[in-house]
Structure formats: C-alpha cells, structure tokens
Amino acid sequence: MNKVVKVGSRGSALALWQTEHVIARLKEAHPGVEFEILIIKTQGDKILDVPLARIGDRGLFVKEIEEALLDGRIDFAVHSLKDLPTEQPAGLMIGAVSERVDARDCLVSSRYASLAAVPDGAVIGTSSLRRKAQLMA
C-alpha cells in the first residue's frame, strides 16, 4: 500500500486552486503517489472584522500550517509566497517554487488607466506588506 502524502493548505478558493495545481504537477512526475489535502484554518482566516495590516503580526496565514509541518501532521504545504515571512522558522525551508501561472496583479481605479499613470503620493489600498513595498520601490 502506498503512503499518502499529506498536503497542508488554507481553505480559501485561491489556496485550494494553488494546492490542486501543485498536486497535479507532482502527479505528472509521480503518477503512483497519492495525495490528501488537509485544510488548516489560520489566524488570518479567523480575523474577519479587523484590517490585517492593523494587526501587523507576521505569519498571520502560516503559523498554524508551520506547526502542522513541524509536528508531522502534514508532509508539505502550498502557500502564496506573499504570505510567508521573509525568514523561515528553524526546521522549515522553502523546498520549491512553482512556475507562476499568471504574474499579473490588478489595479482597480476610476481615475488611472495603469499603475504607471498613478502620481507619486497617491493612496493605494492593499493588505499585503510585500505589495506595499513593491509599490514604494
């Protein structure tokens, strides 16, 4: 009997799509391997009434998944890189980065046709600290 590889994922539609995508790629290379997705609810998933930037806790969407990795409940996890802290906890590493399906983000504006058209000092809303850093660079 084959061992089932347990894959940790958040339960959002995007997280599950990303996880299924990674599993499909792995199955192409290893057709005999079975995978099981374990949905893990993170602190960031539970906080619905406060802007995440106000909380400011690093790893809001990964801590519970990291704990599941460290205690052996899952074999690996699939994350959006934007959710990972810049430094990984002891005992964990980024094992692979998949090819991006679509690298575009989206600017929604009634005033500007593109990000290049947005003037310096304009206010842009995002909950991602990495996106904020990219915009300010």
Q: Are residues 54 and 96 in the same domain?
A: yes
Tokens at residue 81, please?
Answer: 């890189």
Query: Residue 52 has what pLDDT?
Result: 60
pLDDT in tens, 65-78: 999 999 999 999 99
Compute the distance between CA of residue 118 and CA of residue 125 in angstroms, rounded to an integer: 13
Between the CA of residue 45 and those of 48, 55, 71, what are the distances in Å? 7, 13, 21
Q: Are residues 42 and 52 in the same domain?
A: yes
Q: Are residues 98 and 37 in the same domain?
A: yes
Compute the distance between CA of residue 55 and CA of residue 44 in angstroms, rounded to an integer: 10
Q: Are residues 32 and 64 in the same domain?
A: yes
Higher pLDDT, 23 or 135: 23
| Domains identified in the chain, total number | 2
Per the structure, the complete domain to which residue 121 belongs is given by 104-137
Query: Residue 95 has what pLDDT?
Result: 92
Q: Are residues 87 and 119 in the same domain?
A: no
- Which residues are marked as active site? 83
Q: Are residues 86 and 122 in the same domain?
A: no
The model's pTM:
0.73
Q: Are residues 18 and 85 in the same domain?
A: yes
pLDDT in tens, 101-135: 777 778 888 999 988 899 988 888 887 777 788 88
CATH number of the domain to which 16 belongs: 3.40.190.10
DSSP state of 22: H
Compute the distance between CA of residue 134 and CA of residue 45 in angstroms, rounded to an integer: 24
pLDDT in tens, 34-67: 999 999 998 777 776 666 666 665 667 788 999 9
Q: Are residues 73 and 111 in the same domain?
A: no
Using left for φ > 0, alpha for ψ between -120 and 50, and beta otherwise, residue 122 falls in beta
